[in-house]
Amino acid sequence: MWNDTDTPLAYFISFRTYGTWLHGDKRGSIDRFHNRYRSPYMPPNANWHRYNEQQLKASPLILGAHQRKSIEAAIRETCKIRDWSLLAFNVRTNHVHTVVAADREPELVLTALKANATRQLREDNLWQQEFSPWARKGSKRRLWNERSVANAIGYVLYGQGDDLPDFDE
């Protein structure tokens, strides 16, 4: 069934950690000229990738168990305070996926999730850098019907591979 309003039922919001998917990467990448839904990525470019690696202010951020738990707490708190429905989330080693029903534009949801996750990481002494632990921007898909919401939830919960072990303990 299609949602006949101009308001999506939810958003599928994803964002990556700092330095973990640079332009020129062998997986391809997206820029402002290659950013259409389901369009192909830009092809790999070893020279461009090497240049982007040299521009990093720190090593790429790979999240450990403590950092993932901190981010989870921040996401839950953000949604609770703003009265958004957190339908699913999965914090991985180099990216975060969420499915959120919110009465705001997806850009605001993405910004709030990243900002509060950063704040929580700093409060927990798990991110000491002055710059953001996140790559610029992020993915903000509008989910217009129940099937899209269910598919996004399924992907976030079951399409990310096995649960991550807690080796930090």
* Structural domain containing residue 28: 20-55
| Residue range 94-137, pLDDT digits in tens | 999 999 999 999 999 999 999 999 999 999 999 999 999 999 99
CATH code of 141's domain: 3.30.70.1290
Phi, psi at 117, each rounded to 5°: -65, -40
Within 8 A by CB and 6+ apart from 2, the residues are 144, 145
Helix (H), strand (E) at residue 115: helix 106-123
Q: Which residues of the chain have pLDDT under 50?
A: none
Same domain, 97 and 78: yes
Sign of CA dihedral 64, 77, 88, 97: negative
Biggest alpha carbon–alpha carbon distance for the chain = 49
Q: What is the pTM of this model?
A: 0.85
What is the per-residue pLDDT for 29? 65
Same domain, 70 and 152: yes
